Amino acid sequence: LSEKKISKESIEHIFIPAKNKNKFELLYTLLNTFTPYLVLIFANTKERVTEIASFLASRGLQVVKLSGDLEARERKQVLKRIKDGKVQYVIASDLAARGMDIEGVSHVINFELPKDIEFYTHRTGRTARFDATGKSISFYEFSDDTYLHKLEAKGLHCVYMAIKDGNLVPTKERNKIIRKASAVKKMEEQLHYSTPMPKKVKPGYKKKRKEEIERKLKKFKRKRIEEIYRKKNKKND
């Protein structure tokens, strides 16, 4: 990869909103939307790796885990099972997967986005090896908005999708979140400009002014929510 490119063009980068969903159930639903050759599922901790592996195994999937608590003999056995094509789903942590050459990865799934964007590149680069194509699918939360903005600023083409009726379909979910956050931020700035300073500066005036701005901002948010439900009710009529 050149310094300018964060990812190979042969990888499609899909992002799915997790919202308040059970991410384990969401993952299982996602895995039923396609037939993979080999899926590499990343988590940020070895504890989460174990949780995911146990959950998917309970659903009848052939899984193995790669985490830092595996002994050398166990790691060798796991890699042999992967090489022999006996498993379709490998759950791994960044530390455990480091330096391992796993061939034939058709999909990389980020159960949670890595804290360091550089690790995102390392994870997703494990698919689309040589002349193959691959898919990277990541779950994201509302709190990941800045993270996603940074990925896009680095030139990554992000495709936002959701699971509907057992299929991956395009969604404008993140665009809605951005518009909503932008409107609230804009209103907050306006309130700071429009809320007058007291003619006589008294002790605690900053706190009182801040409380007044927060009260007005809450009122604005409440009106926006009421408007959303009003529009929804009109559609349902």
Residue written as tokens 């997790």? 18
Q: What is the pLDDT of residues 127-173, one digit of tens each?
A: 998 889 999 999 999 889 889 989 999 999 999 999 999 999 988 76
Q: Where in the chain is the domain with CATH 3.40.50.300?
A: 11-171
**Mean pLDDT across 120-131:** 92
Q: Which residues contact 4 (CB under 8 A, 6 or more apart)?
A: 155
Q: Candidates 3.30.565.10, 3.40.50.300, 1.10.645.10, 1.10.1050.10; correct CATH number of 11-171?
A: 3.40.50.300
Q: Edge to edge, what strands does the sheet with 39-43 contain? A: 63-66, 89-93, 39-43, 107-110, 134-140, 11-17, 158-164, 167-170
Tell me how far apart the alpha carbons of residues 148 and 26 are, in angstroms, rounded to a whole number.
20
pLDDT score of 2: 44
- pTM, 2 dp: 0.73
Question: What residue type is assigned to position 93 of the chain?
Answer: S
Tell me how far apart the alpha carbons of residues 199 and 212 are, in angstroms, rounded to a whole number.
16
pLDDT score of 86: 92
Residue written as tokens 């349902």? 236
